[in-house]
Amino acid sequence: MTSEYILYEVDEPIATITLNRPKALNALTQPMWRALEEAFKKAEADEAVRVVVLKGAGRSFCAGYDLTEDSGIDTMAGWSRFLAKDVNTTMTIWNLEKPVIASVQGHCLAAGFEVALACDLTVAAEGSSFGEPEVRFGDGPVTLLMPWVIGMKKTKELLYTGDSVSAEKAEQLGIVNRVVPADELEEATQALALQIALVPLEVMRLTKTPINRTYEIMGLNEALKTNIELRAAQYVADIPELAEFSRITKEEGLKAALRWRENRYA
């Protein structure tokens, strides 16, 4: 156990990391981000671990950031440093030498979606959904991996509309590798992990690294840095929708703010 809200366990050759805040749909707080990175580094260092499974407790994988958490930041430089830490955690998953499988049910949204995109493979339960709905109140993705996974046209569509897609549509787009009935998710994820674990660890490292290096050569890391800078600028700009969403969250609660967001698109 890495923390109360990030669970870590090993059943050789698989390490399982669980987002364990089910009542909040596993929304990520800053302590959770730091514990999540710690858990992945622990799996990286354990030679008995050949595959890592990332899952969420309860009815959802992860609904994104905890929007009730107040960062207290009001400068572009502060936001840049703040966002860079979370991007580094997400890219710890992307760059892990060992394969990572996301096991997804329910909501896989916003930062949770970005974390799933950073995983090598995703097994999704029927009825799960994927997307970046935060653009609907003036926010946006922090780790912009989507264009690297699904291409430009569909990325623009999802980020311009804030629409979410089903597991089946996500499979068509290349976001998801396999869609299974909800009651078979754990079994299907474990079977895939055990199959991959048969590959010698050094061979896996020498396979994953050049695949990732291909994206680095294409400019992945520079693109992510640019997104951090522009997202930081966005947070100190005067965006009425973002300000109103924050006001409602503070004064009336998150549920009221989410209703306001969705009513704008009703």
CB-count exposure of residue 148 (10 Å: 0-12, 13-18, 19+): middle
**87 assigned to some structural domain:** yes
Q: Which of 134, 157, 251, 262 is catalytic?
A: 134
User: Hey, CA dihedral for 243, 246, 251, 254, is it positive or negative?
Assistant: positive
76 in any annotated domain: yes
What residues does 179 pair with on adjacent strands? 124
Catalytic residue among 114, 171, 186, 241: 114
Domain contains 229: no
> Look-up: residue for tokens 């969250």?
249
| Catalytic status, residue 114 | yes
Q: Within a 10 A sphere around the Cβ of 217, how many other Cβ atoms?
A: 9
Confidence of residue 95 (pLDDT cuts 50, 70, 90): very high
Query: Looking at the predicted structure, is the pLDDT value of residue 248 above 80?
Result: yes
Rounded CA separation 7/39 (Å): 8
Mean pLDDT of 193-214: 96
Stretch 104-109: mean pLDDT:
98
Residues 168, 154: Cα–Cα separation, whole Å: 15
pLDDT at residue 104, rounded to an integer: 98
Cβ–Cβ < 8 Å for 44, 96: yes
Rounded to a whole number, what is the distance in angstroms from the first to the last CA of the chain? Answer: 42
In the structure, what pLDDT confidence band is assigned to residue 70 with cuts at 50, 70 and 90? confident
Q: Per residue in 80-93, pLDDT tens?
A: 999 999 999 999 99
Residues in the chain: 266
Q: Which of helix, strand or coil describes residue 123?
A: strand
Q: What is the mean pLDDT of residues 49-62?
A: 98
> 60 lies in a domain?
yes
Q: Across all residues in the chain, what is the average pLDDT?
A: 96
Indicate if 229 belongs to the active site.
no
Query: Residue 76: which domain range?
Result: 6-201
- Total domain count for the chain? 1
Mean pLDDT along residues 25-47: 96
Q: What is the mean pLDDT of residues 189-218?
A: 96
pLDDT band at 238 (very low <50, low <70, confident <90, very high): confident
Given this model, what pLDDT does residue 2 score?
Answer: 55
CB atoms within 10 A of CB 76: 16
Alpha-carbon distance of 233 to 76, in angstroms, equals 6
- Please give the average per-residue pLDDT across 227-238, as a whole number: 93
Strand order in the sheet with 164-166: 107-109, 129-131, 164-166
Q: Is 246 a domain residue? A: no
What is d(CA 244, CA 242) in angstroms, rounded to the nearest whole number?
Answer: 5
Confidence check: pLDDT of 190 > 90: yes
Look up the CATH number of the domain holding residue 138: 3.90.226.10
Asked if residue 97 is part of any domain, the answer here is yes
Confidence of residue 1 (pLDDT cuts 50, 70, 90): very low
**Residue-level pLDDT at 266:** 87
- Examine residue 260 and state whether it is found in any structural domain, yes or no: no
